[in-house]
Structure formats: C-alpha cells, structure tokens
Chains A and B, each alone.
Chain A
Amino acid sequence: MTPVETWRLPPRGVLFAAVVLLVVAEIGGGSMARFKVELARWARGGMLAHPAAHGLVGVRDIDEPALDEALFRFDAGLRLFHMHAEGMALVIIAATTVAATLARSPGPRRALIVLLSVGGVGYPLGYLTWSALIPAYGVERSKAIAESLVWIPFGGATIVALLWLAALTAVRMVRR
C-alpha cells in the first residue's frame, strides 16, 4: 500500500531539541530516584539557610511542618518537570510534524515551528526553576517567579501555536 498523503518532517534541529528534552526528562526521573536523599538534604540545607523565606521561627513544632511542606513542593516540582518534559517532547514532535506538513507558506510555518519548539522545550524547565528556587525564596515566591519568567511566556507560546495549528488544520480541511 502506498499512501497518497505523507507527513513532512520538521527541521532536524527541532527533532534534536525534542529528543534532548526526552533524554533530560529521563535523566531527571532517574536522578530523582537515585539522589532522592541528597536532593532532599540540599533543599533542606537551603531552607534552613533562608529561614525568613519559609516562615521559620526556631520552634521545632512549627518549623518542621513548614519544612516538610516545602520539601514536598520541591519534590513535586522535580516530578512535574520529569512528566511535563516527557509529554512536551512528544507534543513538539507531533505538532511540528503537523505544522511542517500543513502550513504551506514559509512564514507561518516557521513561526509555528519556532513557537511550538521554544514553548515546548521552555515550559517544563519552569518546574526545575520552581524547585531550584524553593530553598532560597520559599514555595509561593518561587512559584510566582517561575510563572512570570517561564510558565506564562513559554506555556503561552505553546497554547497560541496549538490553537493556530488547529485553526490552520480546520481551514485546510474546509478548503479541500
């Protein structure tokens, strides 16, 4: 069987970026399991060095639940990085393949591929940023930083590109 319609590959750099993101996600997952104790120790050390950021008052009964909560969020950030990086790498491959195939004009095609790739690679890094900042800035402040610097711009780029891609696919379908 020879299918009439075939996919066009996205640029090799995009595929490379997606594969690297997959590798980093796998390494992240492995590292979380392998270095769980070391990571928790590092984070706890950072939290104790920044007591004000975590509302620590020097009373064990008050401080320990706060530290446990911050450590839980630190771990959650790493887990979410692992999961989102795996998912977004596949989204990049699928969505840029659709864009490369269905967007006929070079300008929109390039814009779509750039938005999908940059947004897709950047977004999961927000979870790493969040985790990395928690010891020094506390849970909420580091979340706000990750949101404004990473999640909103990169996630926004991905959402805009996917909606654009859906509209483009619908237009192509209607024009047939």
Chain B
Amino acid sequence: MTNRPADGTVSPAVGRPPLAVVLVAVIVIASGELGGAVLSQLRPATTRFATRRIAANPQVHGLTGSAEYDDTIRQRTVFATEAGLSFFHTHAEGTGLVLFFGATLVASLVSSRAWRAALYVLLTAGALFPLGYLVYALAVLQLGRDTGIDLAENWVLTPLGCAAIAGLFGLAVALARRPA
C-alpha cells in the first residue's frame, strides 16, 4: 500500500476481497473486542453462571458431595471456562486480522478465479477458529471438563484450524508459483 494515487485509492495492485469475506473479518474482530469487554466487565457474573451450570450437572463433573474435592473440581472447571473466553478474545482479534490481510493478498496476487474462491473459503473458515473456544467454554460446563474439551477440539478447533493452515499454505504456494 505504498502508492497513493491522487484519488486516494490504494495502488490497483492491492485488491479488495469480496464483501462477504470483509464482513466476516470485521465481525470476528468486533466479537473479539466485545468478548474482551464481557470478560473484563462481567467476570463475576460469568463465574456465577459457570458455578450454577456445574451445580446443575453434578454427574458429568464427577461431584461427590465432599466439599473439599468438589471445590477443586469446580475451580478447575470455572478456570477452563474463563480460559476459553480469554482465548476467544485473543484469537478472534488475531484471526480477523489474518483474514483481512490474507484475503487482501489473495485478491491482489492470485490470478486464478478458482484458486481465489478456494482460498477465500479456507481463510474465512479459518477466521472462525476462535468460535471453538466459545464452544470449549460452554461445553466444559455442560459435558464436563475433559469431554467438553475433546468436543471443542475434535469438532471445531481442529477442522477450523486446519482450514486456516490450508488457506495460508495455499496462499504461500500461489505466491511462490506467481511469475516475478
């Protein structure tokens, strides 16, 4: 973005990805910001909600009725929920930006229409990776810590993370194959 023509547009070499991709990038960044605010302002409410959900599902959390043991389980599970929300905040800020800049590179430098479409799909799916941490935060409360983490990892984090890696790898290949 070094050339600045008189009309204020970026050099024609820097293309804009489709609006749907831009929209996802902006929503993911906005969700990240919002998640951070919720995490900071509503921490006590979040902790109370998590504690209530654990109490409502005593079997999946392995609560025994022994106060000391149950407290340890409760603290570990609440910590996992808060960690999920915190990871959502940090990753959403990052993956939204990765989508914005990655898709801009795709729009600017990838000439094949099919390649561009495939890379947009992969990068957009990859930008949704942080949703896995929201699932993580809720699933540990509903299903228990280990089962919840497994669910989020196997069904959300791994597929979306793989999409992000494949999209970035594809972009790297497209750049390497591009004539100088």
> Which residues of chain A come closer than 8 Å to B97, judged between CB atoms?
87, 90-91, 94
Of B9, B25, B40, the contact of A8 (CB 8 Å cutoff): B9
Chain A binder among B27-35, B51-59, B138-146, B153-161:
B27-35
When distances are taken between beta carbons in the complex, the residues of chain B under 8 Å from A87 are: 93-94, 97
Interface membership of chain A positions 1-28, coded 1 if the CB is closer than 8 angstroms to chain B and 0 otherwise: 1110111110000000000000000000
Q: Are B12 and A2 in contact (CB under 8 A)?
A: yes
Interface 9-residue window, one of B60-68, B71-79, B99-107, B126-134:
B99-107
Q: Cβ of A142 < 8 Å from any Cβ of B?
A: no
**Which of B12, B19, B25, B36 contacts A94, CB < 8 Å?**
B25
Which residue of A6, A101, A147, A166 is within 8 Å of B27 (Cβ)? Answer: A166
| Interface membership of A165, Cβ < 8 A | yes
**Beta-carbon contact of A101 and B16 below 8 Å:** yes
- Chain A count of residues within 8 A CB distance of the other chain: 33
A163 contact set on B, CB distance < 8 A: 30, 34
Q: Are B14 and A6 closer than 8 Å at their CB atoms?
A: yes
CB distance from B58 to the nearest CB of A (A): 33
Segment 69-89 of A: residues with Cβ below 8 Å from B: 87
A7 touches B14 (CB 8 A): yes
The one of A3, A94, A165 in contact with B107, judged by C-beta atoms closer than 8 angstroms, is A3
Interface centre among B14, B19, B96 (most CB of A within 10 A): B19
Stretch at the interface among A40-48, A53-61, A168-176: A168-176
Taking the closest CB of chain A, its distance from the CB of B104, in whole angstroms, is 7
| Residues of B close to A159: CB separation below 8 A | 30, 33-34, 37
Counting CB contacts under 8 A, is B20 at the interface? yes
* Chain A residues, CB < 8 A from B22: 98, 102, 169
Residues of B within 8 A of A162 (CB): 26, 29-30, 33
Say whether B104 contacts A7, CB under 8 Å: yes
Contact A169 B33 (CB under 8 A): no
Q: Which residues of A sit under 8 angstroms from B1, Cβ to Cβ?
A: 7, 9
Spell out A's residues near B (CB within 8 Å).
1-3, 5-9, 87, 90-91, 94-95, 97-98, 100-102, 147, 151, 155-156, 158-159, 162-163, 165-166, 169-170, 172-173, 176
- 6 A-B pairs, CB-CB below 8 angstroms? A6-B15, A91-B97, A102-B22, A155-B36, A162-B33, A173-B20
The chain B residues found within 8 Å of chain A, CB to CB, are 1, 4, 8-12, 14-16, 19-20, 22-23, 25-27, 29-30, 33-34, 36-37, 40, 93-94, 96-97, 100-101, 104, 107-108, 110-111
